[in-house]
Amino acid sequence: MMETLERRLRGMPISPGIVIATVKVEVAGSTAPGIYSIRRCEKQAEWDRLEKALCRTEVELNELKARVEHMSGADEAAIFDAHLLFLRDRSIMSKLHVEFDARMQNMEAVYYAVVQNFMELMRRVEDAYLRSRVADMEDVLRRVLKNMAGEHHECPSSRDKQPHILAAYDLSPSSTADLNRDLVRGFVTEAGSTVSHTAILARSLGLPAIVGIEQLTIEVKAGQEVIIDGYEGLFILNPSPETKEEYLNLRAEKEKAYKALALMRDLPAETTDGRHIRVATNVEFAHEYSNITASGAEGVGLYRTEFFLLNDGNMPNEEEQYVHYKDLVEACAPEEVIFRSLDAGGDKLPFERDVKEDNPFLGWRGIRVSLSRPEIFKDQLRAILRASAHGKAGVMFPMISGYTEVIRVKKLLQDCRDELNERGQAYDPNLRVGVMIEVPSAAMMADVLAPHVDFFSIGTNDLTQYTIAVDRVNRRVADMFRPAHPGVIRLIDQTIRAGIPTAICGETGSDLNLVPLLIGLGATELSVGVHVVPLIRYAIRHLNYEECREMAQLALKAQDSSAIKKLSREIAIKSYPNLFH
Ligand code: PEP
Ligand code: MG
């Protein structure tokens, strides 16, 4: 029997919301097969199907082994011995018998669950050699499932097409972007961190999600009913009827509170002493357009164009980009849309798929890619310029590290304007040009860069990672990722003191605890996920700028991040206590 007792697992909440559904489990590279119950009389047929698939896989592996032996010799071919051993492994087979009798589900679903558990156990062993054999096991699993697929007597896909929660060891930003929004209602992973692009995408898609759940893939069983509490980071397996009721009520309460805030969206985002802060939104996907105005956002402060550009491996040409950008500009008019030029690399897709780097965050990323591919970069710049003729647009550049890059980028932008003049195509001559401040050297050079651009936009996700040398996607150092670290705060201060309009477009801008600090340091704009806009606008309306400014001066003298957070949080709790319930 599948376990039915309620269990609670904890992780890091990365995207708020509550969702109750059955869970589907996915292992890197192989999708979990559909699950359906079988009758007692079908048991033998299921074993026969498995046996056939095992035999076929055995033949395939032996053929492969012979071919490799012929081409490269016996040593190389020996790697398939491990595959063959896994295929008939006695402990896997005996666990399979037990689980199959207990679950009474189709064989591929049970086989998948059992092998997946073994793989997770192997990932945890000390012996590096054994750990490295997980890949072999995964290969065997994939082959057996493929061979069983040809033997279906019932197509499980209809059962697979139910709304569900996805549980996986890890999800890359690209697979998150590809999730079927009609079916996937939320996700949980064992790896992951709060400022990874996977997390940013989850928030942008409005999918409740939790990452960093220890032992997740061992504990969770496909087909179980589960709850994601994306506020607290709680993942509840087999919730009791009382727990379900409690969460249904909580969800209704949260939705009511959110709607009440959204209704106030037309009130100005102005502090109690009259300082206006532009609250714009970050956009990752085309289908968010309609949410933007509904949220009360004053335009788009950061459009992460890479999710559109690198979507299917075929970079859209200038014309295709122009049409897409124009639609967004028109949808947001008269508010401004800031396009960030392509920021490939890092934890997102590399610009060229076969490029593998040991340290992708320090490698061929952001503006470095664009400057080394000027023709492709110029396609994007011309498309943005042309879109600017249809409303209000701006452009900014990621991963700028100093003066020379700014000058090179501006020269290319001017070339694009000249080309459009020659073609007789319109653009807005007043299009604002900015740079992202997310590399510490750029923050230190802010006074030198400021005369050359119209605005700065601080990417706190990268600025934090690069300043304190903490990988933003590495779970092992997640507790060291401190956006309120004095080093980071001083760089933000230094940037703002350069005296040009400065936005915060990283995740720190949506941290209700730190909003008073950012306002006090003098940020003129916060650009946040679309679902957070009403909260941030409300928070600003309840803050006093002078009070925040005085607090920020104290914060700049503080010694550690907790002291800084405490100073800012005190004002936050006093000013908008209801947002913390
Ligand atoms: C940032 O680094 O804070 C930022 C906004 O850019 P991204 O998260 O896309 O790297
Ligand atoms: Mg960044």
Residues 6+ away with beta carbon under 8 Å from 129:
none
**pLDDT-wise least confident of 178-182, 310-314, 333-337, 377-381:** 310-314
* 197 in catalytic set: yes
Residue 573 is predicted with a pLDDT of: 98
Task: Tell me whether residue 559 is in a domain.
Answer: yes
- Which backbone phi and psi does 6 adopt, to 5 degrees? -70, 135
Neighbouring C-alpha atoms within 13 Å toward the C-beta of 31:
9
Whether 34 is covered by a domain: the verdict is no
242 CA from centroid of ligand 2 (Å):
43
Lookup result for tokens 């992708």: 360
The token pair at 423 is: 């073609």
Q: What pLDDT shows up at residue 81?
A: 85
Segment among 92-96, 149-153, 302-306, 390-394 with least mean pLDDT: 149-153
User: CA 233 to CA 210: how far, in whole Å?
Assistant: 6
**Quick one: pLDDT at residue 132?**
65
Q: Which atom of ligand 1 is nearest to the CA of 398?
A: 6
Same domain? For 179 and 143 the reply is no
Ligand 1 atom 4: residue of nearest CA: 459
Query: 23 with 44, same domain?
Result: no
Task: Give the CATH number, domain containing residue 404.
Answer: 3.20.20.60
Averaged pLDDT, 430-457: 98
Helix (H) or strand (E) holding 151: none
Q: Map residue 559 onto helix, strand or coil.
A: coil
Instruction: Look at residue 561 in the predicted model and tell me its pLDDT.
Output: 98
User: In terms of Cα–Cα distance, which of 279, 400, 395, 399 is closest to 337?
Assistant: 395
Q: Based on the domain organization, do 363 and 504 belong to the same domain?
A: yes
At 191, which CATH number?
Answer: 3.50.30.10
Asked whether residue 565 falls in the same domain as residue 440, the answer is yes
Q: State which of 461, 481, 532 you would mutate to test the pocket of ligand 1, scoring each by most atoms of that ligand within 8 A of its C-beta.
A: 461
Report if residue 15 sits inside a domain.
Answer: yes
Angle at 118 between CA 114 and CA 124, to 5 degrees: 150
CA of 476 to the centre of ligand 1 (A): 20
Position 458 confidence tier, pLDDT thresholds 50, 70, 90 = very high
Do 161 and 112 share a structural domain?
Answer: no
**If pLDDT is split at 50, 70 and 90, which confidence band does 448 have?**
very high
Average pLDDT over residues 334-360: 88
Q: What percent of the chain has pLDDT over 70?
A: 93
Pick the ligand that lies closest to the CA of residue 488: 1
CA atoms within 13 A on the CB side of 500: 21
For residue 111, which of 47, 156, 68 has the smallest C-alpha distance?
Answer: 47
- What integer best gives the mean pLDDT of the chain? 90
Q: Which ligand is nearest to the CA of 464?
A: 1
Domain count across the chain:
3
425 & 376 share domain: yes
Identify the CA nearest to 464 among candidates 493, 435, 487.
487
Average of per-residue pLDDT across 87-101: 92
Ligand 2 centroid–CA 257 distance in Å is 31
Tell me which DSSP letter residue 276 carries: B
Residue 71: the pLDDT is 63
Residue 561 covered by a domain: yes
In a domain, residue 259? The reply is: no
Taking Cα atoms as reference points, which of 278, 223, 224, 253 lies closest to residue 457?
278
Lowest model confidence (mean pLDDT) among 68-77, 349-358, 487-496:
68-77
Q: Do both 54 and 201 map to the same domain?
A: no
Tell which atom from ligand 1 comes closest to the C-alpha of 197: 8
Q: Is the pLDDT of residue 122 over 50?
A: yes
- How far, in Å, from the CA of 185 to the mean position of ligand 1? 25
- Residue 531 annotated among the catalytic residues of the structure: no
- Alpha-carbon distance 252 to 234, whole Å? 18
* pLDDT for position 287: 65
Global pTM reads: 0.77
d(CA 353, CA 333): 36
**What range does the domain containing 495 cover?**
271-576
CA of 440 to the centre of ligand 2 (A): 12
Quick one: 139 and 99 in the same domain? Answer: yes
CA–CA dist 46, 393 (Å, integer): 60
Report yes or no on 581 lying in a domain: no
From 197, 390, 485, 531, active-site residue:
197
Output the CA torsion 42→48→51→52 (10° steps).
-120
Q: Are 463 and 439 in contact (CB under 8 A)?
A: yes
Any domain includes 347: yes
Ligand 1 atom nearest to CA at 304: 9
| Domain CATH code at residue 56 | 1.10.274.10
Domain final position from 218, 250, 282: 250
Average pLDDT over residues 99-121: 89
The widest CA-to-CA distance across the chain, in whole angstroms, is 80
Mark whether 519 and 381 lie in a shared domain: yes
Residue 143 has pLDDT above 90, yes or no: no
User: Looking at 148, 166, 197, which one is the last position of a domain?
Assistant: 148
Atom from ligand 1 closest to the CA of residue 505? 5
Q: How confident is the model at residue 545 (pLDDT cuts 50, 70, 90)?
A: very high
**Helical axes 43-72 vs 79-87, angle rounded to 10°:** 170
Specify the pLDDT at position 138.
Answer: 80
In the prediction, which pLDDT does 170 show? 83
Residue (of 435, 320, 447, 429) closest to 370 by Cα position: 435
The crossing angle, in degrees rounded to 10, of helices 79-87 and 134-149 is 60
- 232 and 356 share one domain: no
Q: Is the dihedral of CA 222, 228, 232, 234 positive or negative?
A: negative
Chain position carrying tokens 């009474």: 104
Atom number, ligand 1, closest to the C-alpha of residue 462? 2
Residue to substitute in 14, 203, 338, 343 for testing ligand 1 pocket (most ligand atoms within 8 angstroms of CB): 343
Q: What DSSP designation does 105 have?
A: B
Average pLDDT over residues 76-85: 79
Range with the poorest average pLDDT among 55-69, 225-239, 308-322: 55-69
Question: Which residue's alpha carbon is nearest to atom 6 within ligand 1?
Answer: 459
Instruction: Tell me: do 301 and 165 sit in the same domain.
Output: no
Where is the domain boundary, 188, 217, 250? 250
Contacts of residue 270, Cβ cutoff 8 Å, sequence gap at least 6: 276, 277, 540, 541
What is the enclosing helix (H) or strand (E) of 498? none
* Closest C-alpha to 521, from 209, 300, 275: 275
Ligand 1 contacts (CB < 6 A) are: 200, 302, 304, 343, 438, 459-462, 505-506
Q: pLDDT tens for residues 275-300?
A: 999 999 999 886 667 788 888 999 99
Write out 310-378 in H/E/C secondary structure: CCCCCCCCHHHHHHHHHHHHHHHCCCEEEEECCCCCCCCCCCCCCCCCCCHHHCCCCHHHHHHCHHHHH
Provide the 3-class DSSP secondary structure of residue 234: strand
Q: What is the DSSP letter of 451?
A: G
257 domain-assigned: no
Catalytic residue among 83, 390, 416, 505: 505
Output the CA 526–ligand 2 centroid distance in Å.
Answer: 15
With bands split at pLDDT 50, 70 and 90, how would you rate the model's confidence at 154?
very low
Confidence of residue 155 (pLDDT cuts 50, 70, 90): very low
**In a shared domain, residues 338 and 215:** no
